Structure 1
Amino acid sequence: MDAGDWIAVAALVVALAAGYFAAISARAARRSANEAARLSGIEAERRRDEREERHERLAPSHPGSIVAVLEESAVGGPKNLFGSITVPRDYRVQAEGWVRDSYTLLSLPLLLHANRPYRFHIEHWPPDREEPQTQEVRFHFWPPVDVDDTDPWTCSCGRPTGENADSFGHWELRVPITYEPPMTPWIDYA
């Protein structure tokens, strides 16, 4: 073998070694990319869980039920059924009274301030009625926005913001109505 043959053999050995190390490097790069993608997925899931946990912490607490109170009309008309709600922080709100498959918007201010009871009319009560027709109140809550008379705050979960109260609620609560008829005084005729 002459010098040219040795150079060709050496070049072949170098090329084979380079190919071998390139293949090892490519496998390592694929493993590294797969691991980075897996870690990125874990991190995205952790951030999603944190957003959901924060969303739940910011949610209004469920009152269990709306305890309805029957009151005489101030103008001598039918009696009226009222309820009330208190929220732990400031929220925008819209409420609906549901009777089977239909609803009526209930009169509450758009912004409820924290720890203040808000009284609202549920329904009129004709003389022959014995129990409420309204079965539940559905509340739609949103964080307050810049135009509200409060310090706005946000929930970064991506649900509706409340700038449009016609959208779905950021949080929605279905709260049953409970009503205890007034006690009839017991008369002893003995």
Structure 2
Amino acid sequence: MIKVILSLLTLISIWSYFYFKSKSLFSILDKLWSLFVGSKGFSNESINAFHKDRHDLDKFNAIYNFKATSTRQIEKFILWSKREKCDTRKTSSIKGWFDIEKLEPLKPLIWESWILFSIVVLFLSATTAFSAWGITSNAIVKLKGSDPWFLMDHNRAKPVFSKLIIRRVDCHDDTFSRE
């Protein structure tokens, strides 16, 4: 049963990969059709020409990470990249941020920039906090399963979510009370 589920998940993953790369499933359906039925192409030449254009479009979108909707856009892009001496690896590396119709990079929306900025600030804050904790002599420990987490160093122990602080001298004091 697990092998069947893993096989299905693998097939769905491959299917999803090709769908999100090319934004269509024409190529996969064409391969499945030719695998099970055995005929490639169409007998009508105009339909076959349209089918080949569609196949070229899907293949170009999948390989070069573009969202082209016609072969005219692809041809226009090829002429532009030759004229501008543009490296197609660089334009394809920005994935969906290149408008193939206008042949220019897309400008991100304000809210997208703010979300990216917020993620960077959050990541840097977390990294700074964890780095600061990492270079101190503190340790966060849990003594038993029911005990709270303690922040400990050489001189004190403090439950993480409490204001109580137990110092080294308190451990030797018989009159110390946790209240």
**TM over 0.5, shorter chain:** no
Highest RCO, 1 vs 2 (Cα 8 Å, sep ≥ 6): 1
Q: Which structure shows the higher strand fraction?
A: 1
**Structure number with higher helix proportion:** 2
TM-score of the superposed pair, with normalisation by structure 2:
0.22
